[in-house]
Structure 1
C-alpha cells in the first residue's frame, strides 16, 4: 500500500511540473490544495503564505514573456499518512535547483500545500532527467 501511495504522490508531483511547463493556470490551480494553509517560496522571492498570493505568483510567472523552461529529475517521495513530500531537482536553463514539494491527501487526491526551490551546487543523475510535462 505504501508503494501505491508513493506512486500517487509522484503522479501529483508530475502534474505540478506538467502545469508549470505548459503555463496552464487552470491545471496549476487544480494541483494546489483548497481550504487549508498553503505556502510557496520561489527562488529569490519572499515567502507567499496564502492561496491567492500563491496563485497570483503563478499567473505572473506564466504571463511573463520569459517564463522558464523546466526539467525535473530524481524525484523521491516520502509518505506519512495523509502527508507527503517530494524532493527533486529542477533544471531551469543552466541553473540547477533542489525543490521540496509538500502534499496533503484531500479525499482521494494528493494536493500541494507547499513548494520551495533554491539553487544548489549538487547535480542530479543524468539518467533520471526528463522534461516536465510528461505525466505517466
Structure 2
C-alpha cells in the first residue's frame, strides 16, 4: 500500500522530461520571435543618398509568411500545456503535441535555425507521454 501511495505522489520521469521539452520549445519560439521582428526601415534621406551612390535599397520584412506575434502566442500556449502536464492533467497531452508540430512547421516556413532543435524537442516531448508510467499518473 505504501508503494502505491508513493508512486501516486512522486512525479514520473516521463512527465518531467515531456513538460521540460514543451517549455524549451516555448523558449525557442521566443528566440525565433526576436529574430523575426521587423527591422527598422531606411528613412527617405538615407535611401536617396544610397540610391545616388548606386547602392540598391531593399525594404526588409519580417522574413516569415505569417505575423511574428503568432510565435509568441504559440509559446504561451505551450507553456500552459507543459504546466498542465506538470500538474498531471491529461488534457494537456494532445494540445502540447499539436502545438509543438505547428511550431515546427512555422519555424520551418520562416527558414529559422530553431527548426532543428524544435524537431528534436517534439520527439523528446512526445515519446515519454507514451510510457505506461506517464499514462498511469495523468488524471
Bigger RCO of structures 1 and 2 (CA < 8 A, at least 6 apart): 2
Q: Whose helix proportion is higher, 1 or 2?
A: 2
Q: Whose strand proportion is higher, 1 or 2?
A: 1
